[in-house]
Amino acid sequence: MRIPRDDLAKVTFGVLTSAGVDAVQAGAVTENLVWCDMVGRRNHGVERLPILLKRAAAGGINCQARPQFTPLSPPVQRLRADNGFGHYAGKLAMDRACELASEHGVGVVGVSESNFFGAGAYYSELAAQRGMISLVLSNSFPKVAAPGGLKAVLGTNPFTFGAPRSNGRSVLVDMSTAAVAGSTVREKAAKGEVFEPGIAIDAEGAPILDPNKVMSGTLLPAAGGKGFGLAIMVEILGAVLTGAGVSKQVGSMYKHVDAAGNNGQFFIALDVSFWMSPEAFGDRMEFLAETIAGPDEPGHARLPGEARWAHFDESALHGIALEQETLNALEDLAHEHGVDLPWAQCRG
């Protein structure tokens, strides 16, 4: 079933506020989840609403959080997120980083006392809409072994790089530093698919192919030492530097529902207008795009983010596609919290 964006946002916001989440945080979470579904990142969309509300009800997320910024230098600030929703902290941090960048050319915000914040691409897109290049980092609960190791020492530690384009379709590089993201493991398990060797190992170092058994083992880093090096970079900037939880100090979103996540995040925004005019930058970006993915190039080359924009266009035209399990869970939450379903009449 496809649902209009506004209808999905209305129900999501209604469920969050009816569950006791303050309106400001509920708005930020809603915008984030719906955008992820719009661009086809369903594993970071409203599929996450049940676990987010479960954590909020158990006290793992502060529904009335009051985050506080602390200036460290003219272009650098720290944000203590007060254990609120990571989606809210992330939006506050990216918005502030862009504000600082518009004044100083660069803006940097480090976040502590946060929680899972969803897809980093959402925040890079916020920056791209303002003509900014961005880098977004977040650490997470340990699931990944060091190369040659057997125990989990770091999280999947995603990072995102974003840059604006003159056509409004920003370049978005959004990736886990593990061989796969935790959400991919759950998706594979739900579809009954299996992994190839090199994704996860058991306590003896033997490969795990069954995604249902991955979480009892350990993920491997992407591209061996290269991916692990990037994961360390994320951990240092996102956690060690910001004062957030480091490695095993970070809580699991699913295992520790009543405990603060203590995640750390790091946001950098660069205002391209300090380097050249936005028009000149746009021309240079289009030259790069044409070089990589132009009509004269053999095969099917495309820039990172283009698949997301194709999903966005389809969702805008036909409505947002939700998997049946996700739709059922959303409707159950709506009924539980007394929220009307705009699409119910269409079904009838």
133 phi/psi in degrees, rounded to 5: -85, 145
pTM of the model: 0.95
Find the domain containing 75 and state its range.
69-140+159-176+244-304
CATH number (domain holding residue 328): 1.10.1530.10
Look at residue 204 and give its three-state secondary structure.
Answer: coil
Is residue 75 one of the residues assigned to a domain? yes
Q: What is the pLDDT along the chain (348 residues), one digit of tens a residue?
A: 899 999 999 999 999 999 999 999 999 999 999 999 999 999 999 999 999 999 999 999 999 999 999 999 999 999 999 999 999 999 999 999 999 999 999 999 999 999 999 999 999 999 999 999 999 999 999 999 999 999 999 999 999 999 999 999 999 999 999 998 877 887 888 888 999 889 999 999 999 999 988 878 999 999 999 999 999 999 999 999 999 999 999 999 999 999 999 999 999 999 999 999 999 999 999 999 998 887 766 666 789 999 999 999 999 999 999 999 999 999 999 999 999 999 976 554
Whether 136 and 282 map to the same domain: the answer is yes
277 plus 299 within the same structural domain:
yes
Domain count, the chain: 2
Query: Is residue 8 included in any domain, yes or no?
Result: yes
Query: Are 163 and 290 part of one and the same domain?
Result: yes
Residues 319 and 284 in one domain: no
What is the β-pairing status of strands 2-3 and 159-163?
Answer: unpaired
Q: Is residue 190 part of a domain?
A: no
Question: Does residue 316 sit in the same domain as residue 287?
Answer: no
Dihedral pair phi/psi, residue 274, rounded to 5°: -75, -20
